Structure 1
Amino acid sequence: MTNHTMVTEFTLLGIPETEGLENVLLFIFSTMYACALLGNFLILTAITTSPKLHTPMYFFLGNLSIFDLGFCSTTAPKMLSYLSGRGGGISFQGCVVQHFYHCIGCILGFLYTVMAYDRFVAICFPLRYTIIMNHRVCCVLATGTWMSGCIVAILYTAVNVHL
């Protein structure tokens, strides 16, 4: 009979060969994280408040900003917490939540593909662009990226949780 031990916490080892640089790294990464948050919020604000930007390209750019906010907010807070000296451990549940990073990454990959298709239609069919890329099509494409990314990430996470 085998004895199975359940892992409850993982120890984060940090960035190799950076002892003594925690404060510098904390400042650098905090600044980069703040710039990413501010930039994406400004993009979303500009897109939502300006009627001239209510086009398919900016619709997808707004989606990109939303997922970029989630992408950087999935791992950066834990890294900043570690660099500030608040512990180098992460719970099993917290580790599973980190797989959300993979979900957003998959969604972003699909979203880049949809954005490339949008630009293809705009360049190759400029006179029919507004008919081809209408609001309904944009919503279907965006929803498809969200669902596809989530399905891929759920499968990936399910396999890894059983390890």
Structure 2
Amino acid sequence: MKKTQQRLLSAVIISIMLISLAACGGGNPLVGKWTPTGDTADSFGASELEMFGANADDMVLEFTKNGKVNMLIQGKPMHEFMEKIFIDLGMSESDAAEYAKEMAFDAEYKVDGDKLTMISNFDGEKDTAEGTFKISGNTLTLTIDGDTETFKKK
């Protein structure tokens, strides 16, 4: 009887461990929202956006579960943020919407180990960039086409 209880207890513990590993592992570590830091924030145009009331913490690079990459400013897609800026600068709503639409950021990504491939469509032009990524704590380091950028988890 005691052996049966030990086997049952062992089976339950192993099942719990396997479920825990499945829940924790296997996920894409890039999924989530990341804000640029230091020089990366500058290369993403943070200083230019300050005059419009946005700072580096308002800029987000979001990697979704379904392989999409979104560029958000103050929680809005970049083109929506820019549309509001154009209107605030005196552009008509229809012109602002049309002009901002051309600035829409549309990108997808693929991960293979520490390799990252990004396919973007910005301002009507497709571009493929390849590189690597490393996550250490809440810091993401992307090296794409020889340029290294750092982000912190939001």
Q: Flag whether TM exceeds 0.5 (same fold).
A: no
Structure number with larger C-alpha Rg: 2
Higher strand share: 2
Q: Which has the higher contact order (CA 8 A, sep 6+)?
A: 1
